[in-house]
Amino acid sequence: MQPTLKGSAYRRPGYRQTVIAFPGEAAYANPGMKQTALFSSVALLALGVLAALGATVQAQSGAPRTPDGKPDLQGTWSFATLTPMQRPKEFGTKAVLTPEEAKKYAEDSLARRNMDTRSGGGAVDVERAYNDFWWDFGTTASLRTSLIIDPPDGQQPAYTPEAQKRMAAQFAGLRRPAEGPEDRMLAERCIVGFNAGPPMAPSAYNNNVQIVQTKDNVVLLNEMVHDARVVPLDGRPRTKVTRWAGESRGRWEGDTLVVETVDFKGPTSFGGSSERMKLTEKFRLDGGNTLLYQFTVEDPATWVRPWTAEIPMARSAEPIYEYACHEGNHGMEGILKGARMDEKQAAKPTTGSR
Residue 65 DSSP one-character state: E
Rounded distance between C-alpha atoms, residue 219 and residue 51, angstroms: 11
Q: What contacts 150, CB < 8 A, 6 or more positions away? A: 296, 306, 307, 308
Q: Which of 335, 352, 6 is nearest to 180 (CA)?
A: 335
Q: Which of 64, 6, 15, 68 is nearest to 38 (CA)?
A: 6
Residue type at 106 in one-letter notation: A
> What pLDDT digit, counting tens, does each position of 192-224 carry?
878 998 999 999 999 999 999 999 999 999 999
> What pLDDT digit, counting tens, does each position of 234-254 carry?
999 999 999 999 999 999 999
Q: What contacts 333, CB < 8 A, 6 or more positions away? A: none
Residue 123 has a CB neighbour count (10 Å cut-off) of: 7
Q: What contacts 254, CB < 8 A, 6 or more positions away? A: none
Reported as a pLDDT band with limits 50, 70 and 90, residue 286 is very high
**Domain ranges (residues) in the chain:** 10-336
In three-state secondary structure terms, 154 is coil
Rounded distance between C-alpha atoms, residue 293 and residue 257, angstroms: 10
Bridge-partner residues for 213, per DSSP? 218
Rounded distance between C-alpha atoms, residue 26 and residue 213, angstroms: 9
Q: What contacts 65, CB < 8 A, 6 or more positions away? A: 56, 57, 58, 59, 71, 72
H or E segment at 285? Answer: strand 278-285
Reported as a pLDDT band with limits 50, 70 and 90, residue 95 is very high
Q: What is the pLDDT of residue 63?
A: 76
How many whole angstroms from its chain centre is CA 60? 34
Rounded distance between C-alpha atoms, residue 175 and residue 190, angstroms: 20
H or E segment at 322? Answer: strand 321-323
Q: What is the pLDDT of residue 123?
A: 82
| Percentages of the chain per state (helix, strand, coil), in multiples of 5 | 20, 25, 55
Residue type at 51 in one-letter notation: A
Most confident by average pLDDT, 19-28, 43-52, 180-189, 276-285: 276-285
Q: What is the pLDDT of residue 194?
A: 84
pLDDT at 8 over 60: no
Q: What is the pLDDT of residue 13?
A: 36
Residue type at 299 in one-letter notation: D
pLDDT at 346 over 60: yes
Peptide bond into 312 cis (omega under 30): no
